[in-house]
Structure 1
């Protein structure tokens, strides 16, 4: 069964050392959202973590156009997530191999997988299982504190902006394009449509982050994110449609701004995806002023650092110890 991590290769510096951010520029969260807030990038990352390395393989598995694939691979190489390795000179052929920075994104894909299994109807039966090689059990990941090893629901975290943090600096510089090829929606290589509704667009990602920070009013979302009101209204409706937010108060034609939008249990359950993504971002993008977000795990009063643990044996999870179990090989419902 395939592992979700890649063997170590001789990486370039960009893949092994944090990117230094200039003062006043887009911060670590914004850089992360600019990279991961794109459907095709997440799809390519998913396949790369499962062992895909060659251009033709990505084309076949993702039903992606040459232009889009070339663009996304170039971006991922520029951001230090992938390294282009030439394996044939005539004609020139290359592989795209994950760097340590890229392999460090495996918790994001695992957190997405778990949320989909738990909260999207039918996915618990259709998605492949994940097996922890150390204990031999099919598992679900638990978000834990690296210091006290306790659970980390969003309600136990106190967060405030750090020296490089603000809503303005946490939104990527440019909009990302959305996956529009209908063939990709039918591809088994794809991630998941509800996750894409939340995390596959920079404004959606920013809005879920704002919700987790406690924003509920339409005007506050518009002011904080600096997004066009029509776009915010569209995203709020989409989040309500999939059950991530619920509107309280007056809502209807022309009244989107009069309701308050509160996270549901399903919305709060998306927090591990956000937490591991921010943890990765603040490790790999270092601002001279200091971190974008300062977080504390309230129960132990320690600065928050997160890890994923196996819910069966409580051991920390590592990408090399996680196996993808085809549906035909599953041991039955847990």
Structure 2
């Protein structure tokens, strides 16, 4: 994986006043499994069109559409390397390279909590200590390990549910029905749909009852019910009778659901770093312990050193049946 980068003023995208904020824009980009796969391959050094076609079951039409979108959003840069015929490399920009924490936290959550036989997720090795590790979420200001319960989130000047939900469903697949070879299926169930993103935001901001979700999301009751059912089915939410009224139901995060927070924090950080509304941030997050603005920092679970994109190596999982078959 390549290294991360801080956003300079020249690299930041200025959003329209009153329009979609950084949360909506970031989730609109990240909530697509082929986009994440292409970026992952780019972080591993792929730059040419045919290399992506040979690396996985992606069709030309899907690859074309995703590469064009990645160039439009300044995640990739099209660089001509021959003029006769005209051919281009697709190179990750600083914005694209800084997506590594999002991918890292997604892979870790899926590996620990999902155990899907269809997902061939790599192991993560820290090159400094040469050990297989899991990323640990810490506060950049005080270096303490944090969870969602340690933070306070308030709506920023460009916040609001109407501005924070992606404009359309973002989970798209090729017409052939092929999927990336490293499927992150349950992650996509949580962030690959505009209403899933809205529900996820409501849950982490403290909503527990159907009426609260319906009001905050601005979605029809049938959609709210379907999303809640999906989250319960995959074990992210637990449905229990309310202590306040016997005819009410509470929906609360399970341990598996709470463990998804590093993904949420990484997506929010990436979005607010690179996409800025003129009114100000969409969300303000403060770490209760140090009372400073929260910015996530990932460290190695083995040696506790801070992680960088260039210090993370992906290696095949020897327990993966597909890997064993290849070796055999």
Smaller-chain TM-score range? 0.7 to 0.9
1:5 equivalenced with 2:20 (yes/no) = no
Per the alignment, residue 275 of structure 1 pairs with: 265
Structure 2 regions of 5+ residues with no counterpart?
321-328
Q: Give, in angstroms, the shift of residue 329 of structure 1.
A: 10
Per the alignment, residue 251 of structure 2 pairs with: 261
Per the alignment, residue 141 of structure 2 pairs with: 147
Per the alignment, residue 116 of structure 1 pairs with: 110
C-alpha separation between the residues in 2 aligned to 1:126 and 1:71? 25
C-alpha separation between the residues in 2 aligned to 1:197 and 1:208? 11
Are 1:249 and 1:259, in contact at CA under 8 Å, matched by a contact in 2? yes
Out of 302, 309, 326, the position equivalent to 2:299 is 309
Write the deviation string for residues 172-195 of structure 1: whole angstroms up to 9, x where unpaired. 22332432656534x52x331111
Backbone CA RMSD of aligned residues: 2.6
Are 2:190 and 2:200, in contact at CA under 8 Å, matched by a contact in 1? yes
Q: Give, in angstroms, the shift of residue 208 of structure 1.
A: 1.1
C-alpha separation between the residues in 2 aligned to 1:295 and 1:7? 22
Per the alignment, residue 254 of structure 1 pairs with: none
Q: Give, in angstroms, the shift of residue 288 of structure 1.
A: 1.5
C-alpha separation between the residues in 2 aligned to 1:264 and 1:328? 30
Q: Give, in angstroms, the shift of residue 165 of structure 1.
A: 0.7
Q: How does 1:1-334 map to 2 (within 5 A)?
A: 4-5=1-2, 17-121=11-115, 127-179=121-173, 184-185=178-179, 187-188=180-181, 190-249=182-241, 259-328=249-318
Are 2:3 and 2:98, in contact at CA under 8 Å, matched by a contact in 1? no
SS of the equivalent of 2:144 reads coil
C-alpha separation between the residues in 1 aligned to 2:149 and 2:176? 38
C-alpha separation between the residues in 1 aligned to 2:125 and 2:9? 28
Taking a change above 3 Å as real, the CA distance of residues 180 and 248 of structure 1, as seen in their structure-2 partners, is farther
Q: Give, in angstroms, the shift of residue 65 of structure 1.
A: 2.7
SS of the equivalent of 2:84 reads coil
C-alpha separation between the residues in 2 aligned to 1:306 and 1:323? 21
C-alpha separation between the residues in 1 aligned to 2:69 and 2:116? 34
C-alpha separation between the residues in 2 aligned to 1:278 and 1:122? 26
Are 1:63 and 1:183, in contact at CA under 8 Å, matched by a contact in 2? no
Taking a change above 3 Å as real, the CA distance of residues 139 and 57 of structure 1, as seen in their structure-2 partners, is same
Write the deviation string for residues 59-115 of structure 1: whole angstroms up to 9, x where unpaired. 333322322222221111111101111112122211211000000000000001111
Taking a change above 3 Å as real, the CA distance of residues 84 and 14 of structure 1, as seen in their structure-2 partners, is farther
How many residue pairs get aligned? The number is 314
When the two structures are superposed, what TM-score results if normalisation uses the length of structure 2?
Answer: 0.88
Are 1:139 and 1:312, in contact at CA under 8 Å, matched by a contact in 2? yes
Structure 1 regions of 5+ residues with no counterpart?
251-256
Are 1:16 and 1:99, in contact at CA under 8 Å, matched by a contact in 2? no
Taking a change above 3 Å as real, the CA distance of residues 296 and 329 of structure 1, as seen in their structure-2 partners, is same
